[in-house]
Amino acid sequence: MLDVCSPGSLALSLLLVWLMLAPALFAFNLDVDKVTVYSGPANSYFGYSVDFYIPDSKTTSVLIGAPKANTSQPEIVEGGAVYSCPFPSAGTRGCKRIPFDTTSNRQARLNGTKQMLEFKTKQWFGATVRSHKEKVVACAPLYHWRSVKESSERDPVGTCYVAIQNFSSYAEYSPCRNHNADPEGQGYCQAGFSLDFYKNGDIAVGGPGSFYWQGQVFSANIAEIIKGYSFKSIIRDLIGEKKTKVGDSEYDDSFQGYSVAVGEFTDDSEQELVAGVPRGKQNFGYVTIIDSENMTYIYNFTGDQMASYFGYTVAVSDVNSDGLDDVLVGAPLYMDREFESNPKEVGRVYLYLQESPLIFKDAQVLNGMEVFGRFGSAIGNLGDLNQDGYNDVAIGSPFAGEDKKGRVFIYNGNRNGLNADPSQILEGSWASDSLPAGFGFALRGDSDIDKNDYPDLIVGAFGAAKVAVYRARPVVTVDAQLLLHPTILNPENKTCQISVSDTLEMLVTCFTVRVCTSVTGQSIPRNIVLNAELELDWLKQRGAVKRTLFLDHGDSHLAFDLTVGKDKLTQCQNFVVYLREESEFRDKLTPITVNLNYSLDESVFLGDQDLKPILNRYKEARLQEQAHILVDCGDDNMCIPDLKLSARSDKKQLIMGDENHIMFIINARNEGEGAYEAELHVNIPAEADYVGIERNMEDLRQLNCEYKMENDSRMVVCDLGNPMVAGTNLSLGLRFVCQRLENVNSIKFDLYVKSSNKDNSTSNFVSLEILITAVAQVEIRGVSHPPQIILPIPNWERKEKPSDELEIGPLVQHIYENIFFYIFWGKAA
Ligand SMILES: *[C@@H]1O[C@H](CO)[C@@H](O)[C@H](O)[C@H]1NC(C)=O
Ligand SMILES: *[C@@H]1O[C@H](CO)[C@@H](O)[C@H](O)[C@H]1NC(C)=O
Ligand SMILES: *[C@@H]1O[C@H](CO)[C@@H](O)[C@H](O)[C@H]1NC(C)=O
Ligand SMILES: *[C@@H]1O[C@H](CO)[C@@H](O)[C@H](O)[C@H]1NC(C)=O
Ligand SMILES: *[C@@H]1O[C@H](CO)[C@@H](O)[C@H](O)[C@H]1NC(C)=O
Ligand SMILES: *[C@@H]1O[C@H](CO)[C@@H](O)[C@H](O)[C@H]1NC(C)=O
Ligand SMILES: *[C@@H]1O[C@H](CO)[C@@H](O)[C@H](O)[C@H]1NC(C)=O
Ligand SMILES: *[C@@H]1O[C@H](CO)[C@@H](O)[C@H](O)[C@H]1NC(C)=O
Ligand SMILES: *[C@@H]1O[C@H](CO)[C@@H](O)[C@H](O)[C@H]1NC(C)=O
Ligand SMILES: *[C@@H]1O[C@H](CO)[C@@H](O)[C@H](O)[C@H]1NC(C)=O
Ligand SMILES: [Ca+2]
Ligand SMILES: [Ca+2]
Ligand SMILES: [Ca+2]
Ligand SMILES: [Ca+2]
């Protein structure tokens, strides 16, 4: 069970996932530049277990288990060791083996001959290590013992050693070393496979092999272990020890105690024991909460996927800061079945928030992102890493990342649980040929090793025999305000003087931008320098805003520094923004936007020892405020126009072949509030050409109209005013000439008024359809005889009552040489 599960071959999908992960990662808030790294003997699995050792204000060190290390114990090979490494580190030599046990195997005289009673070779001492104030416990779960009963089997009962008082006193605790041997008893217990401390200093120990691997958990008091301890008494009854009992054979092969943790789930003062049972419940796995007083099971969390190893790890922390402990469960072999045909083994962590005693919310799940990454192999309670009031969590994925170097994902807590996305991903930096580096297989947080008031994190990489200590950077929370005054600008209010040339000054409209900042944060430097940038109307750069704004120095952009003292009063700076004269800004409706963004000037923190502070990633370092230009649109300063359009043509139909002139009389009104950049748009059909506006009729306005072509559509655009004030009622005439009328039965002009207002920006649409209906067109050619008559006809006397044709005048005879006509029948006619 202690085997290092070797991950399968890495599929191509892993590479893709890695690429997807790469962008937009924020290193919040563990420092990755000044990492303390301890190295241990090669192949000793140095870093398989880790913990802090901070018994008092003077001592800070890191405890590191190396379960395959060779020791000086006589005749014992790879007995395993626990090292104490001073922090700050004094080089790799600084790590010292803690002398929990310096002895060889004990022997006893049986049947007259000396026989070995215990077998410490390859016992995996240091597979677990835990400290609580000055108490330290480390275990050897593969410690074997030969029962003093008649049979001579070697049973892996496991054993633990405790140390107290600054390692001045040691004692052994082996809860399964008794007469209840063999697989059916506690012989295969492997006590110490998992380990944790109660807050009162008692220990919880897991022994997943007892009773045909039903597994078992124990609780014991360290003072009792020390008190009655004698090197000679191999089997002892420990006062106050509690343990779970054997169950029916249906519970065989469950591995209860594969992981253990403690927490408060019954709203009293006695913490409960939490035990992972990763192969219980038909291999779905479960985690059980156990009453520490009488070792009865009081609550179960059950896994939702067979063989996912739900309960491989458990951790307890109050992540949503409601005062109630919450439970985290790792299932590192969980398969993501989102794509049913191709399930991916990514691993999963479940978070159960405690709502009230023994009532939990449905799990929040965090899935691993890399196939065979074993996400959830370790869960580290970090304490409040960023000092925002919520505890944070580290999750190890020891075979993830490039070359399976391993990764650790940091998740920040919030009032509803954990953030769905990690705030930081730590990358293992050691590759190993023989076995994976396993960076992230062991994690321990929630202790402040450098005394900067932020808890730090230890990450073990046993395959590379390395341990890294990551320290948390102080978090600077900037409270910034951007204040504009006034927020509604009257273009008539020209009170600011600017010089347009050496001699010429001019008055323009202006407003003030006030930037105020204050900072807060634990253990942050006295003075913080922020690099800030102000940007006016940033849309302008994309051509969306038609106006010119500028700051004192003549640009619409300004970079400046803000020096902010910690815990001092809010500090402010003022800037004046000028608007060019009104004729230069057509756009009065788009609000003027002022953007401020800032970042921490890290160049001022040059100290070697201290960590650079970091900006709070959850506080947006970008602010935006808006000012409006007074538009006289009622109290709300919001203009909602009501644009109306009507139009008629002077001709209802056109005659083919002619050069047909046509005029439209168009009436445009605004019956609502001011319309900005109001324009009349007339789409022109292919058969028509724009001639111009009608200038000769008194009641028609002579507006500014332009012919335009956009995307193959031809149009006339007339400026109706900016603004087209409320109550405007104007008419205009537009002239067109229509040719090329063959093969059409009608032509259509589309008209509408549009404005740049946000609401009700366009008028009704008007379509003017001009028919080319059935018209007979006759072409006549001929001569008349006489060819010409001069009138008045000389000597012609007009009779009162002409009696024959001649009396009207001389005969004019028309001779039609050729007559033809055609009638064009329009299709619709
Ligand atoms: C421990 O010592 C034995 C025998 O000297 C050797 O074979 C083995 O490789 C050593 N193990 C480690 C982890 O150094
Ligand atoms: C001791 O010796 C007796 C007889 O010689 C034998 O039956 C018994 O199994 C032995 N016990 C052990 C523990 O070797
Ligand atoms: C603990 O022991 C170490 C080495 O034996 C010693 O340097 C240190 O001062 C001791 N600490 C206390 C608090 O006694
Ligand atoms: C175990 O102890 C708890 C109180 O700690 C009690 O409520 C419960 O009934 C006990 N269960 C058994 C089986 O004795
Ligand atoms: C938890 O599950 C175990 C194993 O199936 C069972 O014995 C126990 O009664 C369950 N406890 C609760 C509170 O459901
Ligand atoms: C005119 O503009 C100045 C400068 O921005 C401002 O202080 C003042 O309040 C404005 N006056 C009015 C009446 O808006
Ligand atoms: C402000 O934001 C811009 C655009 O995102 C960025 O390029 C610039 O570096 C930022 N400035 C500061 C001082 O953070
Ligand atoms: C928007 O315009 C339509 C038609 O022009 C008009 O009927 C309506 O009242 C207008 N809406 C508002 C909110 O003024
Ligand atoms: C012209 O084409 C562009 C891009 O296809 C489109 O965004 C725009 O609205 C079109 N303009 C008109 C008047 O159809
Ligand atoms: C618009 O003005 C014309 C005269 O200029 C008038 O005949 C017409 O009634 C007015 N329309 C409206 C809706 O007021
Ligand atoms: Ca309790
Ligand atoms: Ca909670
Ligand atoms: Ca936090
Ligand atoms: Ca710290």
- pLDDT one-digit tens code per residue, 25-34: 568 999 999 9
| Helical residues (DSSP H) of 437-536, grouped into ranges | none
Please determine, for residue 684, whether its predicted confidence score (pLDDT) is greater than 80: yes
Environment of ion ligand 13 (residues, CB < 5 A)? 384, 386, 388, 390, 392
C-alpha distances out from residue 479 to 384, 515, 516, 623, Å: 21, 11, 8, 11
Phi then psi dihedrals of residue 20, to 5 deg: -65, -30
| Residues with C-beta less than 6 Å from any ligand 2 atom | 110-111, 150
Q: How far apart are CA 373 and CA 592, in angstroms?
A: 50
| Helical residues (DSSP H) of 743-783, grouped into ranges | none
Q: How far apart are CA 816 and CA 782, in angstroms?
A: 5
The predicted structure's pLDDT at residue 813? 47
The predicted structure's pLDDT at residue 3? 33
Q: How many other C-beta atoms lie within 10 A of the C-beta of residue 161? A: 24
Dmax (CA) of the chain: 178
Q: Using 50, 70 and 90 to split pLDDT, how confident is the model at 171?
A: very high
The predicted structure's pLDDT at residue 169? 94
Burial class (CB in 10 A: 0-12, 13-18, 19+), 768: middle
Q: Is residue 506 classed as helix, strand or coil in its secondary structure?
A: strand
Written as one letter, the residue type at 393 is V
Q: How far apart are CA 452 and CA 467, in angstroms?
A: 21
Environment of ion ligand 14 (residues, CB < 5 A)? 448, 450, 452, 454, 456
Helices (H) and strands (E) in the chain, counts: 5, 61
Q: How large a percentage of the chain has pLDDT more than 70? A: 85
Q: How many other C-beta atoms lie within 10 A of the C-beta of residue 410? A: 26
Average pLDDT on 305-334 reads 97
Q: Are 769 and 688 in contact (CB under 8 A)?
A: no
Whole-prediction pTM value?
A: 0.77
Tokens at residue 416, please?
Answer: 């509803």
Q: Is residue 39 classed as helix, strand or coil in its secondary structure?
A: strand
What is the signed CA dihedral for 39, 44, 48, 49, rounded to 10 degrees? -80
Environment of ion ligand 11 (residues, CB < 5 A)? 264, 266, 268, 270
Please determine, for residue 582, whether its predicted confidence score (pLDDT) is greater than 70: no
Please determine, for residue 11, whether its predicted confidence score (pLDDT) is greater than 70: no
Query: Of 221, 126, 141, 135, which Cα lies nearest the Cα of 174?
Result: 141
Tokens at residue 101, please?
Answer: 């046990």
Q: Which of 144-148, 433-437, 619-623, 798-802 has the lowest mean pLDDT?
A: 798-802
Residue 137 falls in which region: left (phi positive, over 0), alpha (psi -120 to 50) or beta: beta
The rounded Cα 414 to chain-centroid distance in angstroms is 14
CA of 444 to the centre of ligand 3 (A): 23
Q: Are 649 and 768 in contact (CB under 8 A)?
A: yes
Q: How large a percentage of the chain has pLDDT more than 90? A: 64
Ligand 8: atom nearest CA of 640 is 14
Q: Decide: 165 in ligand 3 pocket, CB within 6 A.
A: no
Mean of the per-residue pLDDT values for the chain?
86
Mutate-to-test residue for ligand 8 from 639, 646, 671, 760, highest number of ligand atoms within 8 A of CB: 760
Mutate-to-test residue for ligand 2 from 107, 110, 150, 151, highest number of ligand atoms within 8 A of CB: 150
Q: How far apart are CA 159 and CA 761, in angstroms?
A: 81
Please determine, for residue 789, whether its predicted confidence score (pLDDT) is greater than 60: no
Please determine, for residue 806, whether its predicted confidence score (pLDDT) is greater than 70: no
For residue 436, how many C-alpha atoms fall within 13 Å in the half-sphere facing its CB?
28
Query: Of 636, 658, 631, which Cα lies nearest the Cα of 726?
Result: 631
Average pLDDT on 60-73 reads 97
Q: Are 828 and 743 in contact (CB under 8 A)?
A: no
Average pLDDT on 85-93 reads 76
Tokens at residue 829, please?
Answer: 């006619």
| Residues with C-beta less than 6 Å from any ligand 5 atom | 280-281, 288, 297-300
The predicted structure's pLDDT at residue 19? 36
Q: Using 50, 70 and 90 to split pLDDT, how confident is the model at 567?
A: low
Q: How far apart are CA 38 and CA 445, in angstroms?
A: 17
> What count of residues does the chain have?
829
C-alpha distances out from residue 422 to 21, 56, 318, Å: 11, 33, 18
Task: Cis check for the bond before 486: say yes or no (omega within 30 of 0).
Answer: yes
Q: Tell me the domains of the chain and their CATH numbers.
A: 1-35+312-473 (2.130.10.130), 40-258 (2.130.10.130), 476-629 (2.60.40.1460), 643-773 (2.60.40.1510), 776-823 (no CATH)
Please determine, for residue 542, whether its predicted confidence score (pLDDT) is greater than 60: no
CA of 57 to the centre of ligand 3 (A): 12
The predicted structure's pLDDT at residue 30? 97
Q: How far apart are CA 286 and CA 278, in angstroms?
A: 6
